[in-house]
């Protein structure tokens, strides 16, 4: 969401409570569609880990309908009298170290666009691009790329007649070069007349498919909330299928990594729990497990390798199961399990983040029947998982979509310390200070930042940094409540926001440090949560009502008037 300019630009400010509105968009906004239903899912990472190796994938692929437990919830009702945009395919990391990147855009529902330029159709977020004049028809799929010539060379003779390719997208102001999609993940927004029609996420971290991470496939939208990883799959066709909708994806394995316990020095070597949500038992002997952090693979063996239907299998991380033994670091890791048939990987996979810390990490089902990953509050080997561990710092309020006709309405986040002691937001790890961070809004805390026991902190966009007094007056924020600022922005449609505490680090050969983080709280909020439309540009906020676990799913939130710092 673009922060309003009344506080960011002095000429837009007249007096507190009488601010003149400044807008980036000269056209009137599209009336928002009726929100769709949604689900909560995984924080993008528990550690800022860049994978050290890529997955090796067999040439064969199965194409199946995603199982209900892993698929996104239904899209709900969208007002078809208005044009609703969508993202159907993303190439963020092309194979062979190619620089090619592209996004496929289409009209999801509603009428045609008579002129894309007059309608102010554009990309925002990870990359920016304003479409030229020309119509866009429903059921037409168009491409926006960083390099039109390279795109045409790559797909020469493979594109359907009439395929329209636009680009390049705008330059990155920091580098003055054409912007890049960050492989570790970001959000692509498609906006029509200023509104954020869709926020399409992508990432190379679990549970996103590794096939799309430089391994020859694209990310293909398969239905549901575009900010949810389970709404995407790897393309069944090598290099994707641009300008064609309804693409097939590589199917999911019915066996998933369900909970993983890292080693504890002098106590145990750790274990891996698998869950089979299918109706038939699955023998995983010969399947391959991979640690991205270690860049190492193991072939599963041992006497018991059958995962029963709708049941669990516990694998101790010992030599008879994993050959030379499996030692999983408590710094955090990305673990992938690949199905192997006839001696080759099929493309089916399951993945799980090991979150930093001594506790196990796993998957829980949340509102809508979908899943979320995180550190577990209690270890449950061989049984259904407990709730996700969270706290003491929680996200207590999210005002993600400003009221368009009210220049005094601003996006913000509110944090609360539900613990009994003060929390200093800079940790001293092995005599090295490092700030907590908030993933999703690009914020790292600095020396002096703290939240007292039972206290709160309010965060605004850093374009408002010089207006702290006005912000306090606008929202009557007590002087005892610290106000801080983040560099990013909250999506109007929904995104992952995670509060992360530095846990440990590893010194790299180039003198830098690789930091690992515990998750204190995380959510994937959504404008599609049923019954919560008043938080979507209508002046109200998402307010936390349940602090027993992480903030996934609409059940832990309510919609109330904004009350930052109170």
| C-alpha to C-alpha distance for 151 and 98, rounded to whole angstroms | 10
Average pLDDT over residues 200-210: 92
With cut-offs at 50, 70 and 90, classify the pLDDT of residue 96: very high
Tell me: pLDDT of 186 over 80: yes
Q: Which token pair is 365?
A: 């089902």
Tell me: pLDDT of 65 over 70: no
Tell me: pLDDT of 535 over 50: yes
Q: Are 55 and 338 in contact (CB under 8 A)?
A: yes
Average pLDDT over residues 511-531: 89
Average pLDDT over residues 99-127: 95
Tell me: pLDDT of 157 over 80: yes
Q: What pLDDT was estimated at residue 80?
A: 55
Q: What pLDDT was estimated at residue 494?
A: 85
Tell me: pLDDT of 46 over 70: no
Q: What pLDDT was estimated at residue 366?
A: 79
Please name the helix (run of DSSP H) or strand (run of DSSP E) that holds residue 320, with its range, or none: helix 319-322
Q: What pLDDT was estimated at residue 264?
A: 62
Selected residue with higher pLDDT from 546 and 50: 546
Q: Are 524 and 227 in contact (CB under 8 A)?
A: yes
Q: Largest alpha-carbon pair distance within the chain?
A: 76
Q: Is 264 exposed, middle or buried (0-12, 13-18, 19+ CB in 10 A)?
A: exposed
Looking at the DSSP bridge assignments, the partners of residue 21 are none
Using alpha carbons, select from 545, 536, 524 the residue that is nearest to residue 416.
Answer: 545
* Helices and strands counted in the chain (H then E): 4, 37
Cβ-based neighbour number of residue 72 at 10 Å: 27
With cut-offs at 50, 70 and 90, classify the pLDDT of residue 275: very high
Selected residue with higher pLDDT from 73 and 389: 389
| C-alpha to C-alpha distance for 183 and 89, rounded to whole angstroms | 15
With cut-offs at 50, 70 and 90, classify the pLDDT of residue 60: very low
| C-alpha to C-alpha distance for 482 and 459, rounded to whole angstroms | 9
Q: What is the mean pLDDT of the chain?
A: 83
Average pLDDT over residues 191-204: 86
Q: Are 368 and 37 in contact (CB under 8 A)?
A: yes
Tell me: pLDDT of 31 over 60: no
Q: What pLDDT was estimated at residue 148?
A: 97
**What letter would DSSP give residue 175?**
T
Q: What pLDDT was estimated at residue 72?
A: 34
| C-alpha to C-alpha distance for 380 and 531, rounded to whole angstroms | 34
Q: What pLDDT was estimated at residue 368?
A: 60
CA torsion 207-444-481-522 (nearest 10°) is: 0
| C-alpha to C-alpha distance for 76 and 38, rounded to whole angstroms | 8
With cut-offs at 50, 70 and 90, classify the pLDDT of residue 63: very low
CA distances from 317 to 43, 274, 381 (A): 26, 13, 13
Which of 33-47, 69-83, 295-309, 469-483 is least confident? 33-47
**What letter would DSSP give residue 87?**
E
Tell me: pLDDT of 18 over 70: no
| C-alpha to C-alpha distance for 359 and 375, rounded to whole angstroms | 6
With cut-offs at 50, 70 and 90, classify the pLDDT of residue 75: very low
| C-alpha to C-alpha distance for 49 and 31, rounded to whole angstroms | 40
Q: Is 266 exposed, middle or buried (0-12, 13-18, 19+ CB in 10 A)?
A: exposed
Q: Domains of the chain (ranges plus CATH)?
A: 5-27+390-560 (no CATH), 84-234 (no CATH), 255-375 (2.60.40)
Q: Are 171 and 179 in contact (CB under 8 A)?
A: yes
Average pLDDT over residues 86-97: 96
Using alpha carbons, select from 229, 238, 239, 182 the residue that is nearest to residue 209.
Answer: 229
With cut-offs at 50, 70 and 90, classify the pLDDT of residue 79: low
Beta-sheet pairing, 296-299 with 288-291: antiparallel
| C-alpha to C-alpha distance for 143 and 52, rounded to whole angstroms | 31
CA distances from 400 to 29, 91, 351, 440, 536 (A): 17, 28, 30, 12, 8
Q: What pLDDT was estimated at residue 35?
A: 31
């Amino acid at each position: 969401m673009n922060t309003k300019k009344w506080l960011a630009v002095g000429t837009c400010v007249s007096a507190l409570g009488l601010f003149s509105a400044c807008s980036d968009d000269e056209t009137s906004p599209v009336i928002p569609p009726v929100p769709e239903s949604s689900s909560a899912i995984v924080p993008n990472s528990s550690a800022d880990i860049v994978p050290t190796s890529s997955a090796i994938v067999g040439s064969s692929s199965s194409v199946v309908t995603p199982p209900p437990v892993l698929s996104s919830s239904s899209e709900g009702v969208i007002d078809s009298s208005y044009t609703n945009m969508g993202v159907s395919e993303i190439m963020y990391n092309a194979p062979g170290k190619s620089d090619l990147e592209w996004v496929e855009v289409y009209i999801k529902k509603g009428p045609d666009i008579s002129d894309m330029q007059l309608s102010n159709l554009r990309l925002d977020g990870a990359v920016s691009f304003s479409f030229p004049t020309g119509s866009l028809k429903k059921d037409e799929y168009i491409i926006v790329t960083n390099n039109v010539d390279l795109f045409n060379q790559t797909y020469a003779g493979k594109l359907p007649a009439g395929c329209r390719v636009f680009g390049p997208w705008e330059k990155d102001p920091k580098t003055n070069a054409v912007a890049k999609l960050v492989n570790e993940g970001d959000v692509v927004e498609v906006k029509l007349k200023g509104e954020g029609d869709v926020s399409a996420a992508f990432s190379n971290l679990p549970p996103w498919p590794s096939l799309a991470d430089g391994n020859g496939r694209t990310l293909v939208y398969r239905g549901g909330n575009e900010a949810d990883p389970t709404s995407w799959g790897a393309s069944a066709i090598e290099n994707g299928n641009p300008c064609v909708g309804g693409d097939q994806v590589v199917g999911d394995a019915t066996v998933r990594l369900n909970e993983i316990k890292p080693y504890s020095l002098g106590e145990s070597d750790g274990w891996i729990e698998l869950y089979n949500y299918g109706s038939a038992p699955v023998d995983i002997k010969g399947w391959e497990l991979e640690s991205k952090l270690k860049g190492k693979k193991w072939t599963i063996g041992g006497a018991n390798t059958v995962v029963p239907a709708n049941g669990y299998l516990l694998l101790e991380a010992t030599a008879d199961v994993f050959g030379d033994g499996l030692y999983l670091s408590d710094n955090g890791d990305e673990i992938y399990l690949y199905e192997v048939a006839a001696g080759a990987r099929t493309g089916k996979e399951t993945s799980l983040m090991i979150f930093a810390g001594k506790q196990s990490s796993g998957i829980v089902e949340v509102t809508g029947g979908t899943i979320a990953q995180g550190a577990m509050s209690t270890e449950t080997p061989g049984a259904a998982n407990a709730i996700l561990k969270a706290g003491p710092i929680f996200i207590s309020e999210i005002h993600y979509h400003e009221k368009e006709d009210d220049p005094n309405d601003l996006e913000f986040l509110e944090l609360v310390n539900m613990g009994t002691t003060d929390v200093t937001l800079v940790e001293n790890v092995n005599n090295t200070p490092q700030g907590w961070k908030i993933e999703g809004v690009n914020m790292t805390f600095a020396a002096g930042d703290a939240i007292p026991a039972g206290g709160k902190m309010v965060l605004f966009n850093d374009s408002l940094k010089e207006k702290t007094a006005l912000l306090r007056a606008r929202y009557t924020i007590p002087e005892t409540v610290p106000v801080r600022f983040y560099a990013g922005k909250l999506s109007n449609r929904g995104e992952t926001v995670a509060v992360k505490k530095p846990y440990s680090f590893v010194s790299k050969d180039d003198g830098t440090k690789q930091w690992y983080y515990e998750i204190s709280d995380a959510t994937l909020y959504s404008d599609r949560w049923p019954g919560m439309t008043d938080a979507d540009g209508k002046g109200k906020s998402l307010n936390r009502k349940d602090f027993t676990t992480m903030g996934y799913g609409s059940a832990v939130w309510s919609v109330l008037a904004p009350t930052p710092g109170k």
